[in-house]
Amino acid sequence: MPVYGGAPVLFPTVAFAVFFVVAFLVNWLLRPHHHVWLLAVAALSFAFYGYAPGSRRFVLLLLASALANWLFGEAIARALGPDRTRTPASIRLVRAAVVTNLAVLGYFKYYGWLADGLLPFIPYREIVLPVAISFFTFHALSYVIDIGRGVISPMRLDEFALYLSFFPHLVAGPIVRASEFQPQLREPADPRRIPFAEASRLIVAGLFKKVVVSSYLATEIVDPVFGAPAAHGPLELLVAVYAYAIQIYADFSGYTDIAIGCALLLGIRFPQNFDAPYRALSLQDFWRRWHMTLSRWLRDYLYIPLGGNRKGERRTYVNLGLTMVIGGLWHGAAWTFVIWGAIHGGFLAVERWVRERWRASYPDPVLPAAASGVLRWVLTFHVVCLAWIFFRADSFATASDVIAGIVAGSGPAPLVTTLVLVTIGLALLSQFVPAAAVETVQRGFARWGPAAQVAALVIALTTIDVLGPDGVAPFIYFQF
């Protein structure tokens, strides 16, 4: 496994609160002075990235990535034909940019894995993995590819440096396209029109999910069970799998909620990244709801270029499998991530095959809509949970022990407490809360006076602090 560099300032900490207050003031004081503002916020973002001693050496890597990809973008744009049409020169430059970015990512993220197992003739060395390298590499790739496709025009260097390093999305997304980010840099922003109620709701919800729900489930059942699965009975193992499904959702969606909320307070809107994924009735639906910006990235820059569904049924299944396996490898250099991706890719292909033949054989519904929906939900949720076992396990052997213990294990279940079950149950039920109800609460909060809003936020943050543990573990997706 790779050794990870130091993490930037964690969102749920006093250090980040102080940093954000400074960033907020700098952002709005300098916003009227466009070029100074770009440089100042970019400088703060680089400082955020290099906060931990282990990350400081990689600030130069982030700077180099920004400069190299900006230069590639400029060269690609100049090589395009009339009306931004592709030319042989522009295609070669795009390929060179893609290869360069993937080579850097591959060296840091996969060299040790290859040398330690797949290619033993390569001399092994311990590589320190820069935090966020996968995310800023995917941002850079989408930028140069979109220029090559004629979708966007090149940014100025100061704009691109801020786009690549902007601290709310730098570490763990969401993956923001340049076409989504660039126009907001050039629009005049008014601090009086900050969507404060929406930002507050996102930040508080994100903190609660991370600090309370994710931390509690990790400590109480997930970490103990996955740390020694052979020592636990089938009920504990099964509940731990369900708990991890909630933990990783609460952890990652909590991060992106906070990231989106912080960006809103700075006048930048990010795309939505989660939409109640555990209410999905199919794996295809799940990937429309889970890490939505990564799903769209894989679709637009991998699945469709591979041929998508345009080259026949068999090729479609192959493309689905390849896309998800590569998506698994993106998460980490380990066979467990490959298996996680293969499970999703395989079931997506099976799901598509069954759906097409079922509709041809049974054009009319066989079961009532409610019963069909429940069965589809149960199947989808358990396929996702099966894949999560490999995602969480530190080895194939650990994952095998978890599955074997669920199927044929025995023993008591002292870790399966009422509070654990209630936490999992309420988290699942929350996926079915109508979006309109959340909007209604948010609009009501927006109508309160400033004093009432501040008081409500103080109460909410105090409650989170009381319910949360001492100290905050890094977000799960920091390692990717």
Could you give the residue numbers annotated as active site?
A: 331
Tell me the C-alpha distance between 41 and 31, whole Å. 10
Tell me the C-alpha distance between 255 and 267, whole Å. 18
| Cα 352 to Cα 104, 147, 296, 302, distances in angstroms | 35, 33, 18, 19
**Nearest by Cα to 265 from 13, 62, 17:** 17
Query: Is the distance from CB of 109 to CB of 133 less than 8 angstroms?
Result: yes
Tell me the C-alpha distance between 212 and 416, whole Å. 18
At a CB cut-off of 8 Å and minimum separation 6, what does 441 contact? 201
| First CA to last CA distance, the chain | 12
State the CB neighbour count (10 A cutoff) for residue 435: 9
At a CB cut-off of 8 Å and minimum separation 6, what does 370 contact? none
Query: Is the distance from CB of 134 to CB of 330 less than 8 angstroms?
Result: yes
Which amino acid does the sequence have at 184? Q
Query: Is the distance from CB of 144 to CB of 72 less than 8 angstroms?
Result: yes
Side-chain-facing half-sphere of 266: CA atoms under 13 Å:
30
**Nearest by Cα to 373 from 273, 285, 274:** 285
Query: Is the distance from CB of 155 to CB of 182 less than 8 angstroms?
Result: yes
